[in-house]
């Protein structure tokens, strides 16, 4: 009874540790240390230093953009100021600078004939030539016309008749775009907040006087005033074509802040992109708007503008990072665990590829057969397995114990 209790206590109050096989092999040792070195340098160099895995990142930024354009240009001998060429006028992050306007004056509600459209905007179904009413019947419901197709043919003009704002717009006129727009300046006010760290930054220091600077990525990279021509050069635009057809330009403001450093190093980086580059056949950008008037006797009429414009999209992206304990601990543990990968690889080499693999295998894995167990239970002097097993009755760990007497 007491001996059974004693045995039980002994087996509970033991510490088990793993037995190691030391292999004195230079090549294997080199491979082992090399693998460890690679793993350590991966974690230290890439995971910690490059990817900064010890930091937590905030990408859910709150940002606002206000823009203001300045400059004067001449279109059809008329001086254009901001109110004439900026659309919409509120100074948003997305705005257009109109470079060319085709105006259609004195449009009244009524019935008139279609016109030919300029080459650039001609679709096959957009041509409304006719000689009989039947030619026009097929265009009923067309969305390409300038008004509702009535189905009748105006034989004297040779075009289908429409009901809508008349006369129909003729965009074949050749208008020289406003060339001065390359000298306009765009002032961008951008503020960004990283809610996780409660840090707010502006794209220029409040102490900086910004009235007479111009952005240049080399000489003045923090000036918030951009010359349109500079942006177009950066995106390698054909300025003449752009002024004629319109286009889309992206102004990217990128914030990458490492808040482990002083917050004054949290500054924006500007870059510019051609947003309509993926479109081969649908290049350009234009839109229409109208201004409405009343005649003396109360009839409405309007002036239609077809505006070709360069549209600017100011896009803000931001990431802020700062040291945090949890990712650090997790990644350190991952690193330490991964160092053990060296053992797996070396074991494979040791047990399968090296000369004498069979011998190593025998050293590493001790095989116990039932016969031997039987033998060990009835020990003979001089037996190979004479290591005494603890007189265990509830020992379930199966470990060979080097026990002292209780």
* Residue 176 Cβ vs ligand NAG, minimum distance, rounded to whole Å: 12
Residue closer to ligand NAG by CB (options 115, 213) is: 213
* Residue 251 Cβ vs ligand NAG, minimum distance, rounded to whole Å: 20
Residue 393 preceded by cis peptide, ω within 30: no
Q: Is beta strand 300-323 parallel, antiparallel or unpaired with respect to 185-194? A: unpaired
Residue closer to ligand NAG by CB (options 127, 180) is: 180
**Footprint of ligand NAG on this chain (CB under 6 A)?**
179-180, 182-183
Residue closer to ligand NAG by CB (options 138, 240) is: 240
Contacts of 259 (CB under 8 A, 6+ apart): 194, 197, 199, 266, 320, 321, 322
User: What is the C-alpha separation between 233 and 342, in angstroms, rounded?
Assistant: 53
The C-alpha torsion from 397 through 399 and 405 to 406, rounded to 10°, is -10
Helices (H) and strands (E) in the chain, counts: 10, 15
68 is in an annotated binding site: yes
* Residue 73 Cβ vs ligand NAG, minimum distance, rounded to whole Å: 8
Residue closer to ligand NAG by CB (options 93, 247) is: 247
Across-strand partners of 106?
A: none
- Tokens, residue 104: 């259609």
Residue closer to ligand NAG by CB (options 79, 134) is: 79
* Residue 182 Cβ vs ligand NAG, minimum distance, rounded to whole Å: 5
* Residue 87 Cβ vs ligand NAG, minimum distance, rounded to whole Å: 21
DSSP state of 220: B
**DSSP-based three-state secondary structure for 123:** coil
User: What is the C-alpha separation between 244 and 178, in angstroms, rounded?
Assistant: 9
306 is in an annotated binding site: yes
185 is in an annotated binding site: yes
Closest-CB residue for ligand NAG? 183
287 is in an annotated binding site: yes
70 is in an annotated binding site: yes
286 is in an annotated binding site: yes
Q: Which residues are annotated as a binding site?
A: 68-70, 185, 286-288, 306
Annotated binding site for ATP: 68-70, 185, 286-288, 306
């Amino acid at each position: 009874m007491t001996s059974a209790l004693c045995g039980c206590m002994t087996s509970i109050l033991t510490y088990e540790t793993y037995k190691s096989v030391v292999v004195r092999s230079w090549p294997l040792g080199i491979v082992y240390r090399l693998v460890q070195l690679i793993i350590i340098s991966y974690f230290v160099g890439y995971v910690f230093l490059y990817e900064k895995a010890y930091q937590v990142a905030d990408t859910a930024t709150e940002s606002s953009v206000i823009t203001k354009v300045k400059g004067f240009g001449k279109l059809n001998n008329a001086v254009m100021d901001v109110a004439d060429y900026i659309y919409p006028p509120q100074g948003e992050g997305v705005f257009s600078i109109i470079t060319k306007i085709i105006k259609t004056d004195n449009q009244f509600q009524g019935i008139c004939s279609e016109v030919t459209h300029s080459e650039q905007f001609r679709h096959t179904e957009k041509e409304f030539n006719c000689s009989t009413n039947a030619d026009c019947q097929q265009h009923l419901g067309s969305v390409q016309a300038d008004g509702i197709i009535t189905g009748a043919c105006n034989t004297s003009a040779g075009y289908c008749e429409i009901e809508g704002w008349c006369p129909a717009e003729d965009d074949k006129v050749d208008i020289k775009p406003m060339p001065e727009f390359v000298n306009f300046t765009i002032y961008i006010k951008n503020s960004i907040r990283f809610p996780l760290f409660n840090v707010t930054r502006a794209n220029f220091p409040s102490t900086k006087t910004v009235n007479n600077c111009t952005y240049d990525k080399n000489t003045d990279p923090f000036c918030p005033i951009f010359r349109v021509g500079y942006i177009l050069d950066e995106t390698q635009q054909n300025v003449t074509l752009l002024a004629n057809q319109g286009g889309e330009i992206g102004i990217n403001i990128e914030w990458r802040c490492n808040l482990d450093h002083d917050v004054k190093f949290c500054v924006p980086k500007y870059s510019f992109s051609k947003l309509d580059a993926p479109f081969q056949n649908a290049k350009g950008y234009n839109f229409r708007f109208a201004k409405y008037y009343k005649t003396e006797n109360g009839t409405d009429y309007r002036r239609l503008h077809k505006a070709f414009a360069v549209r600017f999209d100011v896009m803000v992206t931001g990431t802020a990072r700062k040291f945090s304990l949890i990712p650090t601990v997790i990644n350190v543990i991952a690193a330490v665990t991964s160092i053990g990968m060296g053992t797996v690889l070396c074991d494979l080499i040791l047990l399968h590829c090296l000369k004498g693999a069979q011998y190593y295998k025998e050293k590493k894995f001790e095989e116990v057969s039932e016969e031997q167990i039987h033998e060990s239970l009835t020990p003979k002097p001089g037996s190979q397995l004479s290591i005494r097993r603890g007189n265990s009755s509830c020992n379930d760990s199966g470990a060979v114990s080097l026990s002292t007497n209780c």
